[in-house]
A and B are shown apart, each in its own frame.
Chain A
Amino acid sequence: MPTLYSQAASNVRKTFILMAFFLVLIIAIGWLFSQIYGDPVFLYIAVAISFTQSFVSYYYSDKIALAMNGAHPIEKKDDPELYRIVENLAMTSGLPMPKIYIIDEMQPNAFATGRDEKHAVVAVTRGLMERLDKSELEGVIAHELSHIKNKDILLSTVVVVLVGVIALISDFFLRMSFWGMGSKSRDDNNNSSGAVLMVLGIIAAILAPLAAALIQLAISRKREFLADASGALMTRYPEGLASALQKISGDPTPMRSANTSTAHLFISSPFKGKKGTSWFATLFMTHPPVEQRIQALIGMKI
């Protein structure tokens, strides 16, 4: 019977495998395009741009995410119960106390961000505070703290860098082909093999960003499962989080400030609406379907 520990370990393994796929994909694409143009320089440019973009957003991740969602900080005296819950869970996991923010939205939701443990931030919506009871709130906070502890913010930033690299080199490639810049190999080889390589290149340039996005989403889902399992190990009460997830997903209130760039940070996607649970539909979700998450939590032995 799977336990929370083995669940956590399996999700970490799957993350490694997905990252490996990613790197193989990058190397393959980079090699293919370099073959066609005989010059790897734009691979380097793509890495530089993607890295710089992402580093800034990573470094200021706490401020950016909070500003986008209109959150304001709270002190212990503003909400002692919430403060104590966060404080005690941080102690259980050995994390330093994060800053706590409240988002003025009625949709029950929460997120955690921050570049490392010392600059961590946990934000909850007013809707969450009103709808959940203490053990459910603990489950949610434990899930968020687990994201911080498992360094998911760093991981997802690295993944975004990689996605950016693939998107950029595919973009460069398509532009250069469109504008008909010559390729070295076309002069050297006969026309047909040069053309085949070009066709392959174009197909790759279209499909690669899609593949990259799918891998990114798969990693995001695994980290959500991992945060669920780690959070349950923190509270030793998976039913709390399971019940919270049920309440959160059952609530149809929309979020005014929902946007795609911070959607993945939340415990449940802030975009409400019917979602399919077919295997194909799940490929495109940042979060696993709620039924699967609840099943994973209550089907476990501690």
Chain B
Amino acid sequence: MDILVIILLVAVLVIVLWIAGAYNGLIKLRTQTQEALADIDVQLKRRYDLIPNLLETVKGYAAHEQGVFEKVTLARTAAMGATTLKEQTQANNQLTDALKTLFAVSENYPDLKASTNFLELQRELTDTEDKVQAARRFYNANVRDLNIKVQSFPDNIIANMFNFKMAELFEVTDAAQKEAPQVKF
């Protein structure tokens, strides 16, 4: 009789520990995913902050390229106002295209190309884009781990019980975006 009770207690303890472990694991992954998502915003903000400086520098040498400046400014505003991940991605891709056109145009102005300020900003922007990419890859890695755990047996039982959902991967879904951007000027 006693042994049976002990076995039962041990079994219950094991199950409780497993539930706690699975739940905590899911919490950790979900929080890490949220942090990674916020991290993308941090890098994007860095990008938005660099752009006015860049525009001012270019305007100093190429004042009458108004069309390009407006394009960049509009794209930037749209990107800053985006709400969902998809919207944000799309808006930022358009901002990338606008910036590429800006840099292509600046090829025509040798004084601008030689300006150290401009070169430094260009390098900073390229690095920022690398950082956005790094943040997105980190986010995807976390989403992958979370999605695996949420769907694997037996953790999926806990996930359903406590309402853990799969997160969405950062993907380029728009077919036009998958092509190399066109530089027209």
Residues of A within 8 A of B (CB): 80, 84, 87-89, 91-94, 236
Contact B130 A94 (CB under 8 A): no
Q: Select which of B32, B127, B138, B141 is within 8 A of A84 by beta carbon.
A: B127
By beta carbon, the residue of chain B nearest A94 is B138
Q: Select which of B32, B123, B138, B142 is within 8 A of A91 by beta carbon.
A: B138
CA distance A88 to B131 in the complex (A): 6
CA distance A80 to B123 in the complex (A): 10
Summarize A's interface: helix, strand, loop or mixed. Answer: helix
Does B13 lie at the interface of the complex (its beta carbon under 8 Å from any beta carbon of A)? Answer: no
Least CB distance, B96 to chain A, in whole angstroms: 17
> CB-CB < 8 A to A92: which residues of B?
134, 137-138, 141
CA distance A87 to B133 in the complex (A): 12
> CB-CB < 8 A to A91: which residues of B?
39, 131, 134-135, 138
| Interface size, chain B (Cβ < 8 Å) | 14
Most buried by B among A80, A84, A93, A94: A94
Least CB distance, B174 to chain A, in whole angstroms: 21
Most buried by B among A87, A89, A92, A236: A92
CA distance A87 to B134 in the complex (A): 10
Interface residues of B in 93-135 (CB under 8 A from A): 123, 127, 130-131, 133-135
By beta carbon, the residue of chain B nearest A95 is B138
> CB-CB < 8 A to B141: which residues of A?
92-94
> CB-CB < 8 A to B134: which residues of A?
88-89, 91-92
By beta carbon, the residue of chain B nearest A91 is B134
By beta carbon, the residue of chain B nearest A87 is B131
Q: Select which of A80, A84, A236 is within 8 A of B130 by beta carbon.
A: A84
> CB-CB < 8 A to B133: which residues of A?
88
By beta carbon, the residue of chain B nearest A234 is B137
> CB-CB < 8 A to A94: which residues of B?
32, 36, 138, 141-142
Least CB distance, B132 to chain A, in whole angstroms: 10
22 A-B residue pairs with Cβ-Cβ distance under 8 Å, sorted by A, are A80-B123, A84-B127, A84-B130, A87-B131, A88-B127, A88-B131, A88-B133, A89-B134, A91-B39, A91-B131, A91-B134, A91-B138, A92-B134, A92-B137, A92-B138, A92-B141, A93-B138, A94-B32, A94-B138, A94-B141, A94-B142, A236-B137
> CB-CB < 8 A to B127: which residues of A?
84, 88
